[in-house]
């Protein structure tokens, strides 16, 4: 592994640190992971994300969902509260 120095502005540093903290890793590890993704063309691509959403739209419409009667949700929640008590 080689040491490299870079300059980040305050906002980049804050966002990078927040992301690293949320994943429980160091700033350096976060930079390595982001670079790995970018170098492998795995960078977030909004257009690709939107295309995936469009392609998946309506996929569950043909699923065989159980019928729900009036009060079924409330009865289920009441059972869950009893179990959790």
Given the structure tokens 């970018």, which residue do they identify? 38
**pLDDT for the residue numbered 43:** 62
Q: Where are the domains of the chain?
A: 7-54
CA distance 22 to 58: 33
Give the dihedral sign, CA 58/62/63/64: positive
* pLDDT tens digits, one per residue of 23-80: 999 999 999 999 988 888 766 677 888 888 888 888 888 788 788 888 898 999 999 9
What pLDDT is attached to residue 42? 65
- Quote the CA–CA distance of 54 and 24 in Å, as a whole number: 33
Over residues 8-12, the mean pLDDT reads 94
- pLDDT of 27 reads 95
Question: What pTM value is reported for the model?
Answer: 0.49
């Amino acid at each position: 592994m080689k040491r490299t120095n870079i300059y980040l502005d305050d906002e980049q540093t804050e966002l990078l640190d927040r992301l690293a903290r949320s994943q429980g890793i160091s700033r350096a590890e976060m930079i390595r992971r982001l670079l790995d993704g970018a170098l492998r063309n795995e960078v977030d691509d909004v257009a690709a994300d939107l295309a995936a959403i469009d392609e998946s739209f309506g996929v569950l419409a043909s699923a065989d969902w159980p019928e729900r009667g009036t009060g079924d949700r409330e009865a289920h929640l009441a059972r869950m509260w009893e179990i959790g008590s």
